[in-house]
Amino acid sequence: MIKNESIIRVSVSEAARLFGVSSKTIRQAIKEELLKYIIVKGRYKINFSSLIEWSRQSTRRSNQLDDQGIGQYIDKWKIHNKKYSPHIKLALNKKSNKKTPKV
């Protein structure tokens, strides 16, 4: 069971921006009970994982996510300069070499 603190919820407008669709599309999905949500102070708060599942059910929505939603930024987030990208073996080695201070 997932704890309440670990669930990410977003508003209708946030969901629309993140997934590259209109607010009307999100509200239609809510109406058709395709998304999990709660209502907080009269506003929909949509479960983010249900948004991802919903977006992947349709090729069109999946493409919108990649082209107009958050997916368009993924290439920008990748580390292209390997000089500054930590090598996994080096990162693990540095962690194991750290000495714990004596108290």
Predicted pLDDT of residue 14: 94
Predicted pLDDT of residue 3: 55
Residue 55's pLDDT band (cuts 50, 70, 90) = confident
Average pLDDT, whole number, for the chain?
79
Looking at the domain covering 4-96, what would its CATH class be? mainly alpha
Tokens of 25: 């599309």
3-state DSSP percent of the chain in helix, strand and coil, to 5: 55, 10, 30
Per-domain residue ranges of the chain: 4-96
Crossing angle of helices 23-31 and 12-19, in 10° steps, is 110
Give the mean model confidence (pLDDT) for residues 69-86: 66
Q: What is the full DSSP assignment across 50-86?
A: HHHHHHHTSHHHHHHHHHTSGGGGHHHHS---GGGSP
Predicted pLDDT of residue 99: 54
User: What pTM was estimated for this model as a whole?
Assistant: 0.62
Give the mean model confidence (pLDDT) for residues 86-102: 59
